[in-house]
Amino acid sequence: MNYRISVLPGDGIGPEIIVEAKKVLEKVGEKFGHNFDFSEGLIGGCAIDKEGTPLPESTIELVGESDAVLLGAVGGPKWDTTDADKVRPEQGLLGLRKAMKTFANVRPVKAYKELKNASTLKNEVIEGVDLVIVRELTGGIYFGEQKRGSEEASDTCEYKSSEISRVVKFAAKIAGKRQKKVTSVDKANVLETSRLWRQKAEEILKSTNVEFSHMLVDNCAMQLIRDPKQFDVIVTENMFGDILSDEAAMLTGSIGMLSSGSFGEGKTALFEPIHGSAPDIAGQKVANPLGTISSCVLMLRHSFDLENEAQAIENAINKVLEKGYRTLDIMENDKKQAKTDEMGDLVAQEI
C-alpha cells in the first residue's frame, strides 16, 4: 500500500530527528511491504528565511494532499523577537494545526522500565505510569485577541462550548479503550472559560460510560508529580495542556521521549514530538530521536490502521533500550551512549 506523508522538519534539531524517523518508517515499509512516499515542506523559521512567512501556501497545499503529516519542531533564537509586528516561527505551527482543523492533541506518557533511573523522580512514583494527556488545540488564550501598547498588553482567553464538547468527547472515546477514567482539568475557581469548560465537560462525560472527575490545574500539576498513577486520561484546554504535558514528560526521564498526534475533523492528522527545536543542542548529534520515532507509531496505529507495524517500532525501541543504548539526555553511567543517527540506525536494525 502507498502512503503519502508530508514531512516538515522545521528548525533546530527538527531536521536531525526527522531523518531518523524517516529511516525507521522506510525500514517498516521494507519489512511489511508498504511504500511511504515522503514530500518535504517548509515551516517555522526556515520558512521565514526562504519565503518570508512561517507557513507558506505551498506547505498548506502539500499537507492537503497527504495521508499524514510528520513534523520536527520550529523556532529558535534567530527568530525570537518581542516586536509584535514581526512574524514568528510558532505562528507557522499554530496556523498549520488550524488549517488542518486538528482540535485534539494526544500525548501518551508511558514510563519505560529501562529508563526508571533517568527520571528525577523516585522509581516507585513512576513505575507503571501510563497516562494520556488530551490537549485542546484550537481555542483558548493562544488564539484570542492580542493587544500591545507601550506600557500594557493583553491576551484574551475564549472558548466556545462546541470546542469543549468535541475534545471532551474525543478524550472519553480514548478512555473507553483504556481504563475508562477521565480527569477534566480547568481553573474553574477563577476563570469564566474554565467554568464553561467544567459545565460542558460534566454534560458530556455524564452521558458516557467512563468514570470522571474535575481537577484544578494547579492541583493537577502537583498530583502529576506526587502520584501520576492515579491518572488514565487527562483532558484540558490549550495552554494548561501545553504546560502539563511538558511536566509529565519528566515522568519518562526526558522530553525527548514523548510523542504526540493531533487529530481533528479532517482525515489527515499531524504527528510530532512534544519538544521544541532545542537550539542549545542543535547540530551536535545528541538529540534524542525517540519521541519523533514514537510519533510514527501513533501515525501507523491511528492514521493507517497498521497495528503490527506500530508494535514493531515499539518493540524495537524497547529492545534498543534493553541493550543499554542511550542518547545523552537519558544517559546513565553504565550505558552505551548513542548519537542521534546511531539511535535511528539501532531502532531500524531491530525492526
Catalytic residues: 142, 187, 218, 242, 246
* Three-class SS of 248-297: HHCCCCCHHHCEEEEEECCCCEEEEECCCCCCCCCCCCCCCCHHHHHHHH
Q: How many residues bind ligand NAD (CB under 6 A)?
A: 22
Which of 90, 202, 341, 345 contacts ligand NAD by CB under 6 A? 90
Find the shortest distance in angstroms from Cβ 15 to ligand NAD.
12
Which of 8, 47, 48, 74 contacts ligand NAD by CB under 6 A? 74
Residue with cell 544517559: 331
In terms of Cα–Cα distance, which of 248, 245, 250, 246 is closest to 330?
Answer: 250
Helix (H, G, I), strand (E, B) or coil at 2: strand
Q: Considering the rule CB under 6 A, would residue 278 count as an interface residue with ligand NAD? A: yes
**Comparison of 261 and 291: residue with beta carbon closer to ligand NAD:** 291
303-311, long-range: CB < 8 A, 24+ apart: 303/67, 303/68, 303/261, 303/268, 303/269, 303/271, 304/3, 304/67, 304/68, 306/32, 306/34, 308/32, 309/28, 309/32, 309/34
**Comparison of 167 and 258: residue with beta carbon closer to ligand NAD:** 258
Q: Considering the rule CB under 6 A, would residue 73 count as an interface residue with ligand NAD? A: yes
DSSP 233: E
Q: Considering the rule CB under 6 A, would residue 93 count as an interface residue with ligand NAD? A: yes
Site for ligand NAD in 297-336 (CB under 6 A): 329
Stretch that binds ligand NAD, among 169-177, 186-194, 272-280, 343-351 (CB under 6 A): 272-280
Q: Considering the rule CB under 6 A, would residue 276 count as an interface residue with ligand NAD? A: yes
- List residues binding ligand NAD (CB under 6 A): 13, 17, 73-76, 90, 93, 255-256, 272, 275-281, 287-288, 291, 329
